[in-house]
Amino acid sequence: MRHSNTRLEHGPAGGPSVQAFAPGRVNLIGEHTDYNDGLCLPFAIERGVNVRAEPIRGGTIEAYALDLDERDRFQLGAEEPGEPGDWRCFVRGAAAELRRADIELGPCRLEIAGDVPRGSGLSSSAALSVSLCLALCAVAGAEPPERIALARLCARVENEWCGARTGLLDPLAALFGEAGQAVRIDMRGPRLQAVALDLGGHVLATLDSGAAHTLAGESGYNERREECAAACRELGIDSLRDATRTDGLPEPLGRRVRHVLSENERVDAAVAALAAGDLEALGRLLDASHRSLRDDYEVSVAEVERTVETCKRAGALGARIMGGGFGGSVLALFRPGAELPAGAVAVRPGPSARLAETI
């Protein structure tokens, strides 16, 4: 993450302006495992969020969300949380958490623009927090925290400032993605390992269900986290990674634990299927993941089920709900040359978050 400006612009305060980009992500498999110390297999995508920052005089941060045509302005050092789920929480949270990490920020103007649809399960929120952090550090001439620490900081922004108890999956994917590669993440550690995503001409595509999800506040997402914590208490363990049984647990806790344990196994089965070039097997794993998320974890909704069926009717080898659930996009795997259903967007692994050239 080197600052690679070839030509610098200067803000009203005389310092150079900077631009940071962070990608959204697709999670190939390994859903609702991150906050259970489990396994995931995401990749960064080419779409994401751009934040342009220029230094200004005074003591404030001014932010402008171009797509929404909305603004925010607050005093550096006196950040107040906004409405849960609102984009302003991310800006205030990023500034506050960076300062808490002893990074000295300066007053600046931020311009935010992105092409990851919000609420679509492609992690527009981690793309926003990661790009904000990189831009805020760079415009102040400060080194950002190293990438694992930065991922944790971004999760705190979302947990403590935006009301969503999300895990490390999304910021780690945004910070460690590589072109052509997925990354197997063992959240215990976390330990990361690049996995070549060689699809032999097969195509991964996302299709938006049209039902936008939210992870904040009284969401089903936060409720699932509570249920996992309750299951841990019943089993006398700290993390579902250490669960060895589902029997004897009251429902729905038994089903929730069964999903987490079987999904961890599917991640390594998917890594093996990729290594063997067995894309049919990968498709079956996506289907199995979907059934588990629908029946055991109960995070699907009617719109998502219709979208999965659309993909399967179009010949998908496998299709599943992706991300936090309760709406969002479906991920499907198609044979080489297949005609994608209307609205489906092919996705490929792209590079991680970075500072861009400002021209």
Contacts with ligand GLA by CB under 6 A lie at 31-32, 34-35, 123, 166-167, 169-170, 323-324
Give the shortest CB-324-to-ligand GLA separation in angstroms.
3
Element (DSSP H or E) covering residue 1: none
CA distances from 220 to 32, 73, 217, 355 (A): 12, 32, 9, 35
Catalytic residue among 34, 72, 170, 208: 170
User: Considering beta carbons, is residue 99 or 255 the nearer one to ligand GLA?
Assistant: 255
Residue 259's φ and ψ, nearest 5 degrees, are -60, -50
Is residue 159 helix, strand or coil? helix
Give the shortest CB-66-to-ligand GLA separation in angstroms.
24
DSSP 99-150: HHTT-----EEEEEEE-SPTTSSS-HHHHHHHHHHHHHHHHTT-PPPPHHHH
User: Considering beta carbons, is residue 145 or 327 the nearer one to ligand GLA?
Assistant: 327
Answer whether 253's CB lies under 8 Å from 230's CB.
Answer: yes
User: Considering beta carbons, is residue 166 or 358 the nearer one to ligand GLA?
Assistant: 166
Give the shortest CB-60-to-ligand GLA separation in angstroms.
30
User: Considering beta carbons, is residue 35 or 87 the nearer one to ligand GLA?
Assistant: 35
218 exposed, middle or buried (CB, 10 Å; 0-12, 13-18, 19+)?
A: exposed
CB-based contacts of 244, cutoff 8 Å, min separation 6:
none
Partners of 245 in the β-ladder? none
Give the shortest CB-326-to-ligand GLA separation in angstroms.
10
User: Considering beta carbons, is residue 181 or 289 the nearer one to ligand GLA?
Assistant: 289
Give the shortest CB-311-to-ligand GLA separation in angstroms.
19
Q: Is position 170 annotated as part of the catalytic site?
A: yes
195 closest CA partner among 316, 280, 276: 276
The residues that are catalytic are 170
